[in-house]
């Protein structure tokens, strides 16, 4: 009797696994369902995996997903919104990326042009904007009344929180301008970092698309950390950090505190775990655990998918962030499905 029950449980588990492992597949961070649906529709209309990633992330840029993707959000210390994005082809291993992009709204579209029209991988700052204009993208104001209000409120709170340390005047009480102190304290203040970066002020869309044949593409788009120091680049446009794709293994994408997460190349590491046969959920958990050894209170999550269509996610449990929501679409679903994992 017990053996029969165990067998039935195993068969149900195998059926569920088979149902979840279906191609094609779209997976993206957070409950950004319109982006998922857009990417899926591109695939259904015969578009490539790269097309699906680009259009899916573009949807979030237009929708200003959670205020942390696209124009009009996360103003930096000067009040300007700048954008970071990348896209990766898992067949050719080509990457196109832009960082600190100014006055151009479609950041991942510009990143795609870096692949198509240059031999480079990453363009940054004002030069990236000039490249975008040459590729036919219009200059547009990325500032909105909302972003101006956020900036004004921050100034009125003595520029708190911010990303300075080892400076005078005291950056925890003043807006500066700052100068370096004679004595440098090297120890990272993880608690302070946790207050600056949280689910409430910094998300990124990271997307993985796997076609029917197992071809993998991935991409990201974000306006970065709110009140960042001008010129700051996080993990999102860095291959292996913000996202990674390899059609011989799978894809991964990260979201959260990019200043910490990019030091560990979590997306690359997760793909390498999957290459060795590790289940996608376990691969995500392993990279989160690796970061946590050094930054116990970091805010972050990773999504993973292998070339069979199996997928998973993991996040680091911190106060106020105990679960992570992400989106999935595959042939076993009739519409984008919001999935939830408990943080570890």
Contacts of 100 (CB under 8 A, 6+ apart): 82, 84, 124, 125, 128, 230, 231, 232, 233
Local confidence band at 203 (pLDDT 50, 70, 90 cut-offs): confident
CATH for 25-143+196-342, among 3.90.70.10, 3.65.10.10, 3.30.43.10, 3.60.20.30?
3.60.20.30
CA separation for the pair 253, 186 (Å, rounded):
30
pLDDT digits (tens, 9 = 90+) for 265-317: 999 999 999 999 999 999 999 999 999 999 999 999 999 999 999 999 999 99
Q: What is the mean pLDDT of residues 246-262?
A: 97
Q: What does the CA dihedral 60, 56, 327, 68 come to, rounded to 10 degrees?
A: -20
**DSSP 8-class letter at 219:** E
Report the candidate in 91, 104, 95, 93 with the shortest Cα–Cα distance to residue 122. Answer: 95
User: Can you say which residues are annotated as belonging to the binding site for substrate?
Assistant: 232-235, 255-258
Domain residue spans of the chain: 25-143+196-342
- Check residue 1 and give its pLDDT: 42
User: Can you say which residues are annotated as belonging to the binding site?
Assistant: 232-235, 255-258
pLDDT digits (tens, 9 = 90+) for 102-159: 999 999 999 999 999 999 999 999 999 999 999 999 999 999 999 999 999 999 999 9
Which amino acids are annotated catalytic?
A: 204
Helix H or strand E encompassing 54: helix 49-63
Residue 334 scores a pLDDT above 50: yes
pTM equals: 0.91
Report helix, strand or coil for 319.
coil
- Check residue 9 and give its pLDDT: 44
CA separation for the pair 47, 202 (Å, rounded):
30
């Amino acid at each position: 009797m017990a053996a029969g029950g165990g067998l039935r449980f195993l068969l149900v588990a195998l059926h569920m696994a088979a149902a979840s492992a279906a191609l094609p597949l779209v997976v993206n961070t957070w409950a950004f369902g319109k982006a998922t649906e857009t990417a899926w529709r591109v695939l259904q209309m015969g578009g490539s995996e790269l097309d699906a990633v680009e259009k899916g992330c573009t949807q979030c840029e237009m929708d200003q997903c959670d205020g942390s993707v696209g124009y009009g959000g996360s103003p930096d210390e000067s009040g300007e919104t700048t954008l970071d994005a990348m896209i990766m082809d898992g067949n050719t291993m080509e990457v196109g990326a832009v960082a600190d992009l100014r006055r151009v709204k479609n950041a991942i579209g510009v990143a795609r042009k870096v692949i198509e029209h240059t031999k480079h991988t990453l363009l940054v700052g004002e030069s990236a904007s000039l490249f975008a204009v040459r590729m036919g993208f219009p200059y547009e104001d990325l500032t909105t009344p909302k972003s101006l209000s956020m900036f004004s409120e921050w100034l009125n709170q003595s520029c708190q929180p911010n990303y300075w340390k080892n400076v005078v005047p005291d950056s925890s009480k003043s807006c500066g301008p700052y100068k370096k102190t004679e004595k440098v304290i090297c120890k990272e203040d993880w608690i302070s970092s946790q207050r600056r970066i949280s689910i409430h002020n910094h998300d990124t869309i990271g997307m993985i698309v796997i076609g029917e044949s197992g071809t993998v593409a991935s991409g990201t788009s974000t306006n970065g950390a709110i009140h960042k120091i001008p010129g700051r680049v996080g993990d999102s446009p860095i291959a292996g950090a913000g996202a990674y794709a390899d059609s011989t293994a799978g894809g991964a994408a990260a979201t959260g505190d990019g200043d910490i997460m990019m030091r560990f190349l979590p997306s690359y590491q997760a793909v390498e775990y999957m290459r060795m046969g590790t289940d996608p959920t376990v691969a995500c958990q392993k990279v989160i655990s690796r970061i946590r050894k050094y930054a116990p209170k970091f805010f972050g999550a990773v999504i993973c998918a292998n070339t069979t269509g199996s997928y998973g996610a993991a996040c680091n449990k911190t106060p106020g962030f105990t679960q992570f929501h992400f989106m999935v679409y595959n042939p076993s679903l009739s519409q984008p499905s919001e999935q939830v994992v408990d943080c570890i």
